Structure 1
Amino acid sequence: MKSSDTTPETSKDNPLGYEKESKLLVGFAIPCIISMLVTALYNIVDQIFIGQGVGMLGNAATNIAFPLSTTCTAISLLLGIGSATNFSLHLGAGEKDESAKYAGNGMCLMAVFGISLFLLTTIFLTPMLKFFGATTDVLPYAEAYTRITAIGFPFLIANTGMSKLILADGSPRYSMISMLIGAVVNTILDPVFIFVLNMGMTGAALATIIGQMISFCISLRYMFHFKTIRLTKDSFHVTGRHCRNIFMLGASACFNQIAMTVVQIVMNNTLAHYGAQSVYGGDIPLACSGIITKVNMIFMSFVIGISQGTQPVIGFNYGAKKYRRVSNTYLLALSAASVLSVIAFICFQVFPRQIISAFGNGSELYFQFSERYFRIYMFLTIINGIQPVTSNFFNSIGKSRLGVFMSLTRQILFLLPLIVIFPIFMGIDGVMYAGPIADGAAAVVCGYFTVRELRELKQLENNAAVN
């Protein structure tokens, strides 16, 4: 049903429908990149200060707790991207009332999911961390850290989800500022709590949740000041249809994070098991893998930020049937992500020891393993921009099934089986070689579906011109 706010001039009045694609991409992608970097910064800052103040076991503990962070991200993207994509598609079609309902339903779901995850983590904390691969020495550190960070889960989920709605409403700078202020607070409080007050893992966790709560408050304020819609009581009436559509269009981004969580859990257990059978022992591989995962998050923050920055542009123009602008925006995003991938590849291959050293000291064996892991596991970083950008592209045009499939290619279809099978024959080195093989296979699959979709968009464009 069309909204009463629908007008034939909607796509002409909104800059998303007529502004130059490259200008829009820069305007939306940069704040998204900064927001993603801020999210990564929470983990990176904790890792650095914990490594310097607590040591290798502290670094290993944050790696054990990391699947819970990715679970939070998965939920927030499911609800944030899902509601924002529906928001953009209906806004492009001129249906403002529907856009408001998707925003309200998304916010309600964020609250329910965030509180539920907090309760589950608090109740099942110890068995959960053991399942994630915690060794006897690492478990106490992981418990101290996660018991506190779980309090921040509802705020983290809501803030990250709301930031996607703020972006879809055309306010990327506000979204960025909200995330940035929380990260600055976390960065300031980390050394105070860890070194000055000597609070160790508990201090790092407290600094994290305080920053998350402040960001949440800033984002919540915007929910009452949307530019393109107005939220009413009716907007918060949760319906099965709206929830289903949110889940469908948020599934791609969510499943990608869930896949990362599953892979991280399996990898932690594999590294601990085969590491114990090697000269490295079980704790060194866990600590190194955690650092490398979080360093890779910095690179992926740029790529994912670019892909998320295209969502309002692609979603609005697809809804407005401006197909040339859709394909142009996608190709621009893919080109930018590829350039960044080349830069990341050079850094990972040339400076692995210097990067690892920033996270604290260790034995020579520790650095040897880290360097090999960096150079082998991240060898095909050069093509890692293709899958996230393509997955988000399909999701933004409403093709949720293809988006979900693209998001699962690397992690579930290729990487997960390989990190289980390869170590059986190659020991702990098998985990390292699984990475580049999965990267290459995922890029081939994404390339095939991308070419097919771009041809379809060209045909739609030609049909629209004829009509």
Structure 2
Amino acid sequence: MKKDLTKGNVFQNIITLSLPIITSSFLQFAYNFTDMIWVGKLGSDSVAAVGTSAFFLQLCWAIASVFILGTGISVSQQIGAKNYGRAEKISRESLIGLGAVVTLMLVLIQTIPEYLIGFFNLNNNTVEELSVSYLKVAGLGLFFSQAVFLFTSISNSRGDSKAPMKITMIGVVINIILDPIFIFLLDFGVIGAGIATVISQFISFLIFYRRSFTNFFGKERFELTFDEISNTVRLGVPTSIQRIVFTLIGIIMARIVAQWGSDAIAAQKIGLQIESMTFMITGGLMGAMLSFTGQNYGAKAYDRVHEGYQTAIKIAVVLGLLMGTLFYCFPEFFVRWFVTEDTTVAIGASYLRIIGLSQVFMTVEMVTSGIINGLGKTKIPASINITMTVIRVPMALYLSQEQLFGINGVWMSIAISTLLRAISLSVAYYSIQKKMTLSTTY
């Protein structure tokens, strides 16, 4: 199925495309939320273990995104230009490349997990052992999860976001059902959460494969030709590097947080989980704008690109203000969904109050990044986001000194860098938009 996003009402196109993506994100949040609640019943050590392992799974996703995002941009632009055969070829080559990269990452996870977890210097044998066990099990589902991300990106780029939503719903329901069975009934503990995740990822992959494989990749045989892969990689590498850097900085920040103990690690993980509500909703809008912008840019409908930007930013600002207000006013309420330990709740509440102040800036920078990426200019948001993310480390080290703000200084560095990203990306977009306007005029 393909939907032409170069025609019709701009607001309606954006909403129609983004709502299923947002719904999928909420469904994923529902899974993560339920997963953390079940793991939270095992104690803060278990939450800290899953949180620590998650950094490396996110790193794998960041590396694989070179194909996921690059394919999404390339396919949307080719669909906009009506080059359907080329869009299929791009998709085929990307799936092969994704499989090769994921295989390499899986080998590393299975052979040296102790060294990966050891980087955090947790000084807690229980958390370290649980982290290694969870990482090895959850890593088995890497190909399935990344393939589903690729299928979703292709589907969204073709204007169909409903199919990924339905498949996500099935996977989430299965995961929610399996979590308590493997964690408590079969008494596998933290490892049970990983097993449930892998099974649900495999089933989602299988459904997507059977439903959409021919539509996405065509009927041609998978030959080892890579005529299109260089352009896909060129588009995907900047954002992939950005996500890798973001994840590595997150790992370094987690190590800084670790000096306050496992309660602080658990609080950060819970805070990130709660903040992901904003991230996932905005991510749906961001994904819609990447596809909308890509198709219209491919069709040279530059006025629709800018109209889409103005519409999306208004939606993003309202969303950011709403979520920021909730986080700032009711932080303890949200944290107590996961844990009851007073120390963890107090640290997590401080995280949400400070991060709540930056939610509107996060929504603006995410949407603007999606639009600029849709134009194929992926180096611009990547360079800005990398620079503004790297400065978190020196800011965190300085602001977290005990004579200043302690652990709250770490959260403040995140909020400040988010503000700087939003400002820089907005300036960059208007500079690009001005050039597009001039090229149309002349």
Mapping 1:283-362, distance limit 5 Å: 283-362=262-341
State how far apart, in whole Å, the 1-side matches of 2:250 and 2:439 are.
41
Please name the residue that 2:79 is paired with: 91
Cα deviation 1:395-443 (Å, max 9, x = unaligned): 111112113224324422x323322333346342321221222122222
Please name the residue that 2:256 is paired with: 270
1:119 matches 2:120 = no
State how far apart, in whole Å, the 2-side matches of 1:291 and 1:15 are.
40
Mapping 1:365-376, distance limit 5 Å: 365-376=343-354
Q: Structure 1 residues 113, 42: CA separation in 2 closer, same or farther (over 3 Å shift)? A: farther
**More displaced stretch, 84-93 vs 288-297:** 84-93
Please name the residue that 1:30 is paired with: 19
The Cα shift of 1:330 comes to 1.8
The Cα shift of 1:155 comes to 0.8
Which of 115, 131, 137 does residue 142 from structure 1 map onto? Answer: 131
Aligned AA (2:343): L
Q: Structure 1 residues 167, 131: CA separation in 2 closer, same or farther (over 3 Å shift)? A: same
SS at match of 1:171: coil
Which of 51, 59, 63 does residue 51 from structure 2 map onto? Answer: 63
State how far apart, in whole Å, the 1-side matches of 2:369 and 2:265 are.
29
The Cα shift of 1:76 comes to 4.1
Please name the residue that 1:130 is paired with: 118
SS at match of 2:177: helix
Q: Following TM superposition, where does structure 1 have runs of at least 4 consecutive aligned residues deviating by more than 6 angstroms?
A: none
Aligned AA (2:436): L
Please name the residue that 1:445 is paired with: 424
Q: Which TM-score applies when normalising by structure 2?
A: 0.93
Please name the residue that 2:375 is paired with: 397
Mapping 1:11-50, distance limit 5 Å: 15-50=4-39
Q: Structure 1 residues 41, 418: CA separation in 2 closer, same or farther (over 3 Å shift)? A: farther
The Cα shift of 1:252 comes to 4.4
State how far apart, in whole Å, the 2-side matches of 1:37 and 1:68 are.
23
Cα deviation 1:158-214 (Å, max 9, x = unaligned): 111111012122321111112221111111111122222222111111111111111
- Structure 2 unaligned regions, length at least 5: none
Which of 372, 386, 400 does residue 364 from structure 2 map onto? Answer: 386
**More displaced stretch, 312-321 vs 192-201:** 192-201
State how far apart, in whole Å, the 1-side matches of 2:365 and 2:296 are.
22
Identity of aligned residues (%): 23
Please name the residue that 1:417 is paired with: 394
The Cα shift of 1:132 comes to 3.8
**More displaced stretch, 142-151 vs 67-76:** 67-76
Please name the residue that 1:151 is paired with: 140
State how far apart, in whole Å, the 2-side matches of 1:103 and 1:452 are.
31
State how far apart, in whole Å, the 2-side matches of 1:348 and 1:101 are.
45
**More displaced stretch, 332-341 vs 448-457:** 448-457
Check conservation: 1:252, 1:391, Cα contact below 8 A. Answer: no
State how far apart, in whole Å, the 1-side matches of 2:12 and 2:336 are.
38
State how far apart, in whole Å, the 2-side matches of 1:206 and 1:351 are.
33
Q: Structure 1 residues 400, 174: CA separation in 2 closer, same or farther (over 3 Å shift)? A: same
Mapping 1:237-248, distance limit 5 Å: 237-239=224-226, 241-248=227-234
Which of 172, 195, 213 does residue 224 from structure 1 map onto? Answer: 213
The Cα shift of 1:56 comes to 0.7
Which of 88, 103, 114 does residue 100 from structure 1 map onto? Answer: 88
State how far apart, in whole Å, the 2-side matches of 1:180 and 1:40 are.
11
SS at match of 1:336: helix
1:193 matches 2:182 = yes
State how far apart, in whole Å, the 2-side matches of 1:93 and 1:237 are.
25
Check conservation: 2:156, 2:287, Cα contact below 8 A. Answer: no
State how far apart, in whole Å, the 1-side matches of 2:249 and 2:129 are.
23
| Equivalenced residues, count | 438
Please name the residue that 1:183 is paired with: 172
State how far apart, in whole Å, the 1-side matches of 2:276 and 2:239 are.
15
State how far apart, in whole Å, the 2-side matches of 1:272 and 1:403 are.
30
